[in-house]
Amino acid sequence: MFMGYKNVSVERRFIGRFPHGSDLLQEINKLITQENILSGEIRIIGAVSKAVFGYYNSESKNYIYISKDEHMEILNCIGNISVKDGKPFAHVHITLADKHGNAYGGHLMEGTIIFAAEFVITDYGDNKLERVYDETTGLQLWNI
């Protein structure tokens, strides 16, 4: 059963790369705030020199942070954009591989430092998505 959905169209698409040595999540947030993207999606490939990601513990309803202080390839980095507390909000997951091909991943957190990151960010225009607190999960989820 669907909780709700709506049909959206693409208004704008941004492609580019984020600066070497900067924080990946901060760069994403800077761009979506500057461009006032209220709903959309994010795709990124590249590499990081340090990674911080999280695992959401559904019992305690908080994130467990995991850090890797090494060069890792970004195998996949995807997310969505919505509005939380009145501001554009990026919800992003990342999958990384170390030099042995071991994969790690979770919710992208601040502290992930870019080696190289190419992005595609799609803006769905006036189709504003807002997040509201969900009692069952303890998360801020889309209000559709």
The residue extents of the domains of the chain are: 14-142
Tokens, residue 87? 């501001």
Residue 10 has what pLDDT? 83
Share of the chain above pLDDT 70, in %: 98
Evaluate if residue 99 carries a pLDDT over 80: yes
SS3 content of the chain, % helix, strand, coil (to 5): 10, 60, 35
What pLDDT sits at residue 3? Answer: 64
The mean pLDDT value for 121-125 works out to 94
69: exposed, middle or buried (Cβ count in 10 Å: 0-12, 13-18, 19+) = exposed
Domain 14-142 belongs to what topology? 60s Ribosomal Protein L30; Chain: A; (3.30.1330)
- In angstroms, the Cα distances linking 34 to 39, 67, 116, 126 are 14, 29, 21, 16
Whether pLDDT at 91 is above 80: yes
**Amino acid at position 38, single letter:** L
* pLDDT at position 1 over 60: no
Average pLDDT for 4-16? 85
Give the whole-number percent of the chain exceeding pLDDT 90.
Answer: 76
**Stated pTM of the model:** 0.89
Give residue 48's pLDDT band: very low, low, confident or very high (50, 70, 90).
very high
CB 112 within 8 A of CB 50: yes
